[in-house]
Copies of this chain bind each other. A is one copy, B any other.
Amino acid sequence: MNDENLHDLTEVDRIIHEPARLVISTILYTVKEADFLFLLHESGLTKGNLSSHLSKLEEAGYITIQKRFNDKKPQTLCSMTPLGRQAFEEYRAHIKKIMQKMNGE
């Protein structure tokens, strides 16, 4: 069951594997909707990085981004798509396997 499949571990989903996006994904997986500022504070990322990581998640089809005005201020709302939820769950399963390998099968 072990043998040659250590190498499979390199096939992890890079979109989610990046720590910044892992944090964002973890939040959006549980919350269903969050705005930019909430994510900003919760993730601890800078605005610039948050912005570009959100774009990347959107490009991947993992989240949707809605822009609107709230109380005359711009607001960016994010929520995870079904595809994103699936990818997140698969990533989680993948990491679980990795952990088993790391602990010596």
A-to-B contact residues, CB < 8 Å: 4, 6-7, 9-12, 17, 19-20, 22-23, 26-27, 29-30, 41-45, 88, 92, 95-96, 98-99, 101-104
Contacts and interface: CB of A to CB of B under 8 A. Distances in A.
Contacts of A45: 7, 10
B43 A6 contact: yes
Number of copies: 2
Closest 10 CB pairs of A and B: A7-B44, A10-B19, A9-B23, A12-B19, A92-B102, A26-B102, A6-B23, A7-B43, A26-B101, A10-B20
A45 B7 CA distance: 8
A99 B103 contact: no
A98 B44 CA distance: 15
Given A95-B95, A99-B99, A23 B7 contact: yes
